[in-house]
Amino acid sequence: MTACEDYSGRMCITSVTPTICTLMGIPPPGGSTSEVFPDVIKSARAARIEKVDRCLVYAPDAIGSRLCRDYETRFREMSKHAPVRVPLRTVYPPKTPVCFASMFTGMMPKWHGIMKYDKRVITCDTIFDAFARASKACAIVAVKDSSVDRIFRDRDIDYFSETYDRQVTARTLELIEEDEHDLVVAYHQQYDDLLHETGPRSGEALEALENHIGSFVEMAQAVKSYWTHHSWMMAFAPDHGAHTDPATGTGTHGDDIAEDMEIDHFYGVARRIY
Ligand SMILES: [Zn+2]
């Protein structure tokens, strides 16, 4: 099976890194694709933003395009804050560390080296290294020992390893208010945990989806309150989708199928007020 082959002309998750770097006005990491999301850049230009100096990336696990499509109304509140919707394909295999490594390096898995569910620290250049070279501060807030908590270690990043999603949200809100980091990445995993246990459309999993959307809205409101003297961007940026495993009836992901490979990201930008 090959990766990123034919998902209706969707751009790849590898374009997240160069899009953020372009808007921040810094060189992307070495090895990153140069393809950026044109609609995100256009929305910044339309708002007369030359560059942004703050970025929030909210990364909820396993929320695919099919979920966005089938539960469209639940996403409405969120897209008020991040109105630019970008349909994407993730990388194969659609497993958490593989996809987030591609999202934050701009590289396909064969180049960053995480080709399966493997949480070792990646050694290639990442968006975090690119920010550090530009003297910009990064924070990663993630559930302890999750992929996002593990694979970007040993860098000039402030790491916050939290017990679970609720604590990640609380810490992220604090960091937004403190306004000392140029890039804040916040990772949540409740939807992924529950889809594996109960199925991707179970009541429990859908409640987790609501929690993720609610958390993003809370973070977005904090950005709007505390980053008024910055031009900023924010992203709702999941890693892959999921499907029901007919053998067990519960959820899984890792196949080269649209349910697992297609995701939608949502971006918002704003020009400084003061
Ligand atoms: Zn995942």
At 195-225, the pLDDT tens digits run 999 999 999 999 999 999 999 999 999 999 9
pLDDT surpasses 50 at 3: no
pLDDT surpasses 90 at 274: no
Kindly report, residue by residue over 222-246, the tens digit of the pLDDT: 999 999 999 999 999 999 999 999 9
Tell me how far apart the 2 most distant CA atoms of the chain are, in Å. 57
Does residue 4 fall inside a structural domain?
Answer: no
In the reported structure, the alpha carbon of residue 126 is separated from the centroid of ligand 1 by a whole-number distance in angstroms of 19
Taking residue 269's Cβ as centre, other Cβ atoms within 10 Å add up to 23
Does residue 259 fall inside a structural domain?
Answer: yes
Distance CA 141, CA 181 (A): 12
Give the CATH number, domain containing residue 34.
3.40.720.10
In the reported structure, the alpha carbon of residue 208 is separated from the centroid of ligand 1 by a whole-number distance in angstroms of 14
In the reported structure, the alpha carbon of residue 226 is separated from the centroid of ligand 1 by a whole-number distance in angstroms of 30
In the reported structure, the alpha carbon of residue 146 is separated from the centroid of ligand 1 by a whole-number distance in angstroms of 10
Cβ(58)–Cβ(236) below 8 Å: yes
Distance CA 85, CA 92 (A): 22
Does residue 205 fall inside a structural domain?
Answer: yes
Does residue 7 fall inside a structural domain?
Answer: no
In the reported structure, the alpha carbon of residue 206 is separated from the centroid of ligand 1 by a whole-number distance in angstroms of 16
Does residue 233 fall inside a structural domain?
Answer: yes
In the reported structure, the alpha carbon of residue 274 is separated from the centroid of ligand 1 by a whole-number distance in angstroms of 38
Kindly report, residue by residue over 146-182, the tens digit of the pLDDT: 999 999 999 999 999 999 999 999 999 999 999 999 9
The residue range of the domain holding 256 is 15-270
**DSSP run (H or E) holding 263:** strand 262-270
pLDDT of the residue at 69: 93
In the reported structure, the alpha carbon of residue 50 is separated from the centroid of ligand 1 by a whole-number distance in angstroms of 33
Per-residue pLDDT band for 191 (boundaries 50, 70, 90) equals very high
Mean pLDDT over the full length of the chain: 96
pLDDT of the residue at 172: 98
Does residue 207 fall inside a structural domain?
Answer: yes
Kindly report, residue by residue over 8-36, the tens digit of the pLDDT: 789 999 999 999 999 999 999 999 999 99
The C-alpha torsion from 210 through 215 and 216 to 220, rounded to 10°, is 140
Residue 124 token pair: 């290639």
If one counts the domains in the chain, the total is 1
**Angle subtended by helix axes 165-178 and 203-226, to nearest 10:** 10
pLDDT surpasses 90 at 70: yes
Does residue 50 fall inside a structural domain?
Answer: yes
- Counting Cα atoms < 13 Å in the Cβ hemisphere of 165 gives 21
In the reported structure, the alpha carbon of residue 95 is separated from the centroid of ligand 1 by a whole-number distance in angstroms of 5
Does residue 104 fall inside a structural domain?
Answer: yes
